[in-house]
Amino acid sequence: MKENNMQKQEALTYKHRGQGAEIWRRFRKSKTAMLGLFMLLVLVFLAIFADVLTPYDATKSDAANRMLQPSAEHLFGTDELGRDIFTRIAMGTRISLTVGLVSVTISAVGGIILGSIAGYYGGKVDTIIMRFVDIWMAIPSLLLNITIVAVLGVGLENVMIAIGISNIPGYCRTIRASIMSIKGSEYIEAAKASGASDARIILSHIIPNSLAPLIVQATLRMGASILICASMSFMGLGVVPPTPEWGAMLSTGRSFLRDHPHLCTFPGGAIMYTVLAMNLLGDGIRDALDPKLKN
């Protein structure tokens, strides 16, 4: 009897490990997904060790070294106030990754709450929430962000909140669709029959089983959120100087485009690199979690 139990336990552990390993195997098989992961790891490394990697201060002006071309001493050159551009880009990595993580968390939490309620209860609640979501989506994303920032005011925190709020409808739709497809499953019926509360069924059974599309969306949206934050800073509605944010750096640099294009080239390249990393990673995770979604 004891041996039989052990065998069952082993089989369960094997199955559990097998699923994770299978996803990782599928992910690893894609060269572009691995490239995305590597690119992201480089960014994380830069964000963590930004202080150690360069001897310069990201915000301190140095009038004697204004607008120097890229060299061994200043890898990406210096800006209009003599600050080292590589240092500012490395410090900007922290801001961009924070924007991505915080805004995606806000939208995911908001989307999970609204989507779960709409999908699980259905009926009038569903109609009201989904009509509201439709209306929310009728306003172009960037304009909605701009409008929310107009209310909250300019600044990094407010931009993250604005991006988070404006992305809630997308997550809400994903979670709702996912819940509607599993809420009739036998294990949900069994949980209901055993007397589990609605909150317990949603939190313990439904959400864990709807996570795959949510993770995919979160990774793909992270790149888009970073891009929106940079766009808003570029227009002067996001992070304000002297904070080393890439969009704000580009905005300042464009005044010197004619004679010192490196002030724009590197911050723009950093934005593109980060968004590309997130997109490659997101596509890879999507294909690994659900190969049917490919294409």
Partner 1 sequence: MFKYILRRILLMIPVMLFVIVIVFTLMYFTPGDPVDTILAGSDATAQTREALREELGLNGTYLERLGRYIGGLLHGDLGLDYNSRMPVIDIIKVAFPSTLKIAGAAIAFATILGIAIGIWAAVNQYTFADTFATILALLGNSMPVFWLALLLMLQFSIRLRWLPATGLDGWKGLIMPAFCTSVSSLAAIARMTRSSMLEVIRSDYITTARAKGVREANVITEHALGNAMIPVVTTIGIQFGNLLGGAVLTETVFAIPGMGTMIVSAIKARNIPVVQGGVLVCALSLCVLNLVIDLLYGFIDPRIKSQYK
Q: Which residues bind partner 1 (CB under 8 A)?
A: 131-132, 134-136, 138-144, 146-151, 153, 223, 227, 230-231, 234-237, 247, 250, 254, 257-258, 261, 264-265, 267-269, 271-272, 275-276, 279-280, 295
- Closest approach, Cβ 146 to partner 1, in A, equals 6
- Closest approach, Cβ 99 to partner 1, in A, equals 14
- Closest approach, Cβ 258 to partner 1, in A, equals 5
Q: How far apart are CA 249 and CA 234, in angstroms?
A: 8
- Closest approach, Cβ 266 to partner 1, in A, equals 10
Q: How far apart are CA 165 and CA 218, in angstroms?
A: 14
* Residue closer to partner 1, measured from CB, 65 or 231: 231
* Residue closer to partner 1, measured from CB, 18 or 140: 140
Question: Considering all CA atoms of the chain, what is the largest pairwise distance in Å, rounded to the nearest integer?
Answer: 81
Buried b (16+ CB within 10 A) or exposed e, 54-92: bebebeeeeeebebbeeeeebbbbbbebbbbbbbbbbbb
* Residue closer to partner 1, measured from CB, 41 or 257: 257
Q: How far apart are CA 286 and CA 29, in angstroms?
A: 13
* Residue closer to partner 1, measured from CB, 142 or 196: 142
- Closest approach, Cβ 220 to partner 1, in A, equals 9
φ/ψ region of 154 (left if φ > 0, alpha if ψ in -120 to 50, else beta) reads: beta
* Residue closer to partner 1, measured from CB, 1 or 138: 138
Buried b (16+ CB within 10 A) or exposed e, 261-287: ebbbbbbbebbeebbebbbbbbbbbbb
- Closest approach, Cβ 40 to partner 1, in A, equals 13
- Closest approach, Cβ 277 to partner 1, in A, equals 9
HEC per residue, 169-194: HHHHHHHHHHHHHHCCCHHHHHHHHC
* Residue closer to partner 1, measured from CB, 62 or 80: 80
* Residue closer to partner 1, measured from CB, 56 or 234: 234
289 neighbors 22 (Cβ within 8 angstroms): no
* Cα separation values, 266 from 179, 247, 250, Å: 43, 11, 9
